[in-house]
């Protein structure tokens, strides 16, 4: 299953863990209840047009998800998720030269998606579902291990941490060991602290302010803050459609604190902001 393009992309990600260059991952939700697109991209032509637009705006990766992970959401049966994501992944890979990521926790979906051309597994459960470690050990694609306290249906009820960065770091260490023991090489892993997943507003703000502490792992860091409730709350209760500027600002803060990949809805605005940030940071390094 080794694809040379993916192999080089993967090497680039590892290299980037130590550099300031940022990759932008555009979100494509193929769900009827998606909080940010209202399920608008269910028709595959509309979905492909949206992908085309994200790529034209500078997306490096397209993250395709068929199950909502927002707080309170219900699980989707395997077959339904397969039917949502596999055809669109195949169509994206056929039409565009880009890395496609599959946002799933189900091993059956991971396998079918990678067979259809996905080049990254983005798992909000960090391969904790039965069979997920074993399936990923049989593949060669990078895997994003995201931290979540609890389950999407209940995670926002009473999240609690002794020390948010310390607790998440313990979780990362435990999942890295589990991956290595299953035969997944460490250099395939990307870490994500999971903003909004079993975290209060205070937890999220604290996490963003201390994001650089995860650099000790020497692995790429992925961050998803785009349009999340933390942005709305920090802006005095803004609805989802008023969170663009706050999302871009939070993305830039994350990038300045060491994030290597930003998972976003608004690709063009994020790419522009990251270009400015890179220009200033490169100048700092030169001077
Ligand atoms: C699927 N999904 C929703 N939010 C996310 C986040 O913050 N990170 C990752 N990796 N996936 C997410």
pLDDT at 277: 95
pLDDT at 58: 98
Instruction: Reply yes or no on whether the pLDDT at 6 is more than 70.
Output: no
Instruction: Reply yes or no on whether the pLDDT at 35 is more than 50.
Output: no
pLDDT at 40: 55
Q: How far apart are the first and last CA of the chain?
A: 44
Ligand 1 atom index nearest CA of 194? 7
Cα–Cα distance measured from residue 58 to residue 249, given in angstroms and rounded to the nearest whole number: 18
Mean pLDDT of the chain: 91
Quote the ligand 1 centre to 148 CA distance (angstroms).
10
Which of 62, 69, 85, 220 to mutate to test ligand 1, by most ligand atoms within 8 A of the CB atom?
69
pLDDT at 196: 95
Give the confidence band of 151 by pLDDT, cuts at 50, 70, 90.
Answer: confident
Mean pLDDT of 4-28: 67
Is-catalytic flag, 199?
no
Q: Which residues contact 203 (CB under 8 A, 6 or more apart)?
A: 159, 161, 164
Instruction: Reply yes or no on whether the pLDDT at 34 is more than 60.
Output: no
Tens of pLDDT, residues 231-260: 999 999 999 999 999 999 999 999 999 999
pLDDT at 33: 58
Percent of the chain clearing pLDDT 70 (strictly above): 89
Mark out the alpha helices in the chain (DSSP H runs): 4-16, 44-56, 78-95, 107-115, 132-137, 164-182, 201-209, 229-234, 244-256, 267-286
pLDDT at 154: 75
The pTM for the full model equals 0.92
Tokens for 98? 């880009």
Of 73, 71, 74, 61, give the one whose Cα is nearest residue 28.
61
pLDDT at 69: 85
pLDDT at 13: 57
Residues for the chain: how many in total? Answer: 287
Mean pLDDT of 146-161: 84
Tens of pLDDT, residues 37-81: 455 555 788 999 999 999 999 999 999 999 988 877 788 999 999
Burial degree of 4 (CB within 10 A; 0-12, 13-18, 19+): exposed
Mean pLDDT of 19-33: 84
Instruction: Reply yes or no on whether the pLDDT at 18 is more than 50.
Output: no
Which of 197, 263, 264, 270 to mutate to test ligand 1, by most ligand atoms within 8 A of the CB atom?
263
pLDDT at 158: 81
Mean pLDDT of 280-287: 85
Pick the catalytic residue: 228, 238, 243, 275? 228
Mean pLDDT of 26-41: 68
Measured by CA distance, the residue closest to atom 5 of ligand 1 is: 224
Give the confidence band of 8 by pLDDT, cuts at 50, 70, 90.
Answer: low
Quote the ligand 1 centre to 183 CA distance (angstroms).
24
Tens of pLDDT, residues 80-134: 999 999 999 999 999 999 999 999 999 999 999 999 999 999 999 999 999 999 9
pLDDT at 264: 98
């Amino acid at each position: 299953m080794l694809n040379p393009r993916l192999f080089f992309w993967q090497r680039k990600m590892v290299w980037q863990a130590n550099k300031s260059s940022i990759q932008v991952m555009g979100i494509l939700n193929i769900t009827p209840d998606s909080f940010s697109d209202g399920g608008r991209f269910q028709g595959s032509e509309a979905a492909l047009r949206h992908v085309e637009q994200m790529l034209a705006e500078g997306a490096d990766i397209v993250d395709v998800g068929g199950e909502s992970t927002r707080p309170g959401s219900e699980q989707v049966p395997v077959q339904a998720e397969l039917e949502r994501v596999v055809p669109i992944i195949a169509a994206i890979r056929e039409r565009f030269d880009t890395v496609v990521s599959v946002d799933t926790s189900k091993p059956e979906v991971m396998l079918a998606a990678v067979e259809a051309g996905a080049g990254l597994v983005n798992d909000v459960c960090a391969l904790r579902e039965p069979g997920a470690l074993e399936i990923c050990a049989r593949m060669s694609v990078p895997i994003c291990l995201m931290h979540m306290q609890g389950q999407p249906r209940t995670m926002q009820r009473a999240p609690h941490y002794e020390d948010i960065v310390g607790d998440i770091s313990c979780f990362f260490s435990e999942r890295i060991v589990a991956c290595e023991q299953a035969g997944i090489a460490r250099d395939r892993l990307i870490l994500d602290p999971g903003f909004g997943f079993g975290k209060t507003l205070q937890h999220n703000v604290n996490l963003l302010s201390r994001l650089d502490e995860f650099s000790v792992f020497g692995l790429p860091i992925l961050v998803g803050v785009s349009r999340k409730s933390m942005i709305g709350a920090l802006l005095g209760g803004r609805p989802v459609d008023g969170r663009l500027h706050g999302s871009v600002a939070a993305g830039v803060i994350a990038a300045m604190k060491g994030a290597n990949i930003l998972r976003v809805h608004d690709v063009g605005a994020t790419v522009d902001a990251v270009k400015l940030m890179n220009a200033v940071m490169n100048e700092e390094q030169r001077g």
